[in-house]
A and B are shown apart, each in its own frame.
Chain A
Amino acid sequence: QQPVQSPQAVILREGEDAVINCSSSKALYSVHWYRQKHGEAPIFLMILLKGGEQKGHDKISASFNEKKQQSSLYLTASQLSYSGTYFCLPSNSNSGYALNFGKGTSLLVTP
C-alpha cells in the first residue's frame, strides 16, 4: 500500500521554508527520503529509523513519528537547487520488506 504525501506540489521563492509530509496506514520501522530532478534518477537524502529522531542534511531536515505513522521533511531557507520531486519510502520492518514510494511532492523554488 502506497504512503500518502502532501502537498502534491508547492512553489516557493528562494529563501522560504516548506514542509512535506508522508503518512502510512501501516506501522513503520524506518522512512527514507529521496529527491529526483527532472530527467534524472532519484537521489537518497536521508533515513530515519524508529525512535522519533530528527535528522538534518544541510538545511534539509526530517522527523519521524512512528506512533503517528508519519514523517515530515523540512526545507529551510530554500535554494534554487532544492527544486525537484521529493519521495518518501517507508518500511515496516528491518527484515527486508520495503513498501512502495509515495507519489511524490513536486517542489519548485523560484528566484
Chain B
Amino acid sequence: DARVTQTPRHKVTEMGQEVTMRCQPILGHNTVFWYRQTMMQGLELLAYFRNRAPLDDSGMPKDRFSAEMPDATLATLKIQPSEPRDSAVYFCASGGGGSVGQPQHFGDGTRLSIL
C-alpha cells in the first residue's frame, strides 16, 4: 500500500538547536499538510501546499518555523531555534485530486522532544 513516509520518527534535542522534519507524500498526491498534535491543543494545522506552492501557513509561528517543498516528493518543516514548547508530534499528510473533498493520508509522525 502507498504510504506517507516521515523522518525521523523520533527526535530529542536541546533548546536552540535546528530541527528538520521530512515528509515524502504518496506518489501522485498534490496536496501536503503539516500538523502539530499536543494534548492541550489537539491537531493544529501548521501549513499546507498544493502543487508545491504554499496555500496557507497562518498556523505556523513565522519567526522560527518554515515549511517548503523543494520537489514533489519531499516536504520539509524546520524549526530554528527550537524551544521546549515545540515538543509535540508533527504529522504530515497528503491528499490527491486538488480538492478538500479528498481524504488525507497521514504519515506515522515525528515525535519531537526539546529539552
Contact = CB atoms under 8 A, between A and B. Distances in A.
Interface of A: 2, 29-30, 32, 34, 40-44, 47, 49, 87, 89, 91, 93-94, 96-98, 100-104
A74 B109 CA distance: 28
Given A101-B42, A101-B43, A104-B42, A96 B106 contact: no
B100 interface: yes
Contacts of B98: 96
Interface residues of B, number: 25
A34 B33 CA distance: 15
Give the interface SS of chain B, mostly helix, strand, loop or mixed: strand
B91 A42 contact: yes
Given A41-B107, A104-B42, A97 B101 contact: no
B101 A42 contact: no
Contact of A41 (B33, B56, B109): B109
Centre residue among A32, A93, A104 by max chain B CB count within 10 A: A32
Nearest to A92: B100
B27 interface: no
Interface of B: 31, 33, 35, 42-45, 48, 50, 55-56, 59, 91, 98-109
Nearest to A104: B42
Given A41-B108, A96-B50, A32 B43 contact: no
A34 B59 CA distance: 21
A67 B81 CA distance: 45
Contacts of B50: 96
User: Which A-B residue pairs are the 4 nearest by beta carbons?
Assistant: A41-B106, A44-B103, A101-B43, A91-B100
